[in-house]
Structure 1
Amino acid sequence: MRNTAGATAVEYAIIASVVSVAALGAFISVGEQSEENMNSVADKYAEAQTK
């Protein structure tokens, strides 16, 4: 029988790195959307203060 434990560990490492990159992309996207929303709220608040 062949020892396949090393191959399995490499496969899990590749899967983990792909998941990490996907999660990072999602976090960046959500962060940018949140920043835009907060800036919009801040602008509307500033407008309301001047009326």
Structure 2
Amino acid sequence: MKNQDPQKRFYYYFIAGVVVLAIAFVVSKSAIYIKESITNKKVITGAVEKSIVD
């Protein structure tokens, strides 16, 4: 680890940063989706009930 060239170390940090950003993006997206699904739950259940009736 000590005799690694700094470019390789930067490369690992860069990958780690990208992974963290991707995870944060997915978490925020899913949080927004969950929030929307909670607000749209009545609409979804109404549509499901209608499709069951039909």
For these two proteins, the number of residue pairs brought into alignment is 43
**TM-score, structure 2 as length reference:** 0.63
Task: For 2:10 and 2:39, locate their aligned partners in 1 and report how far apart those are by CA, in whole Å.
Answer: 44
| Aligned sequence identity (%) | 5
Equivalent residue for 2:36, pick from 25, 38, 41 = 41
Task: For 2:6 and 2:27, locate their aligned partners in 1 and report how far apart those are by CA, in whole Å.
Answer: 32
The alignment's C-alpha RMSD in Å is: 2.0
Structure 1: 4+ residue segments shifted above 6 A: none
Counterparts in 2 of 1:49 and 1:28: CA distance versus 1, 3 Å: closer
- State the match for 1:4 in structure 2: none
Within-5 A mapping of 1:1-51:
10-49=5-44
**TM-score, structure 1 as length reference:** 0.66
The answer for unaligned runs of 5 or more in structure 1 is 1-8
- State the match for 1:6 in structure 2: none
